[in-house]
Amino acid sequence: MSIVELLILWFVTALSLFIISKLPTGVEIDDFNIALISSGVFGLLNALARPLLVTLALPIKFVLSEDLFILLMNIAIFGLAAWFVTGFRLRWGFWSALIGALALGFINSILYKLLNQVLVS
């Protein structure tokens, strides 16, 4: 992954987080600068903590479906990012993390589809 692709990923995720904070999801982010920081923390947690969480939760993975397991990992990482970043709060705890993780995947996919259409045109 090039540095430009990494910066685009970081910015799109920050924009998605900021959009999510403006919806009635229970996710609160004070301003766009906090969304940029949160996006960076989210990316670091995905790169560093996800392998550890997957290893620790391996017995659970055999009980749950793959999709449900991935959703639970995303909820955990979303909650950890909110815990680490001042100005990024989950008003309803687990439920805000669940809604936020689902919304992040949905909004990211829309933004990437729009970005891809702009770049291809």
Domain boundaries, the chain: 3-120
pTM: 0.88
**Measured between alpha carbons, how far is residue 45 from residues 6, 74, 93 in Å?**
15, 10, 18
Rounded to whole angstroms, how far apart are CA atoms 15 and 18?
5
Question: Which are the contacts of 115, defined by CB distance < 8 A and separation ≥ 6?
Answer: 8, 12
Query: What pLDDT, in 10s, does the model give residues 7-65?
Result: 999 999 999 999 999 999 999 999 999 999 999 999 999 888 777 777 777 777 677 77
Determine contact, residues 88/38, Cβ cutoff 8 Å: yes
Q: Which of 108, 101, 93, 90 is nearest to 29 (CA)?
A: 90
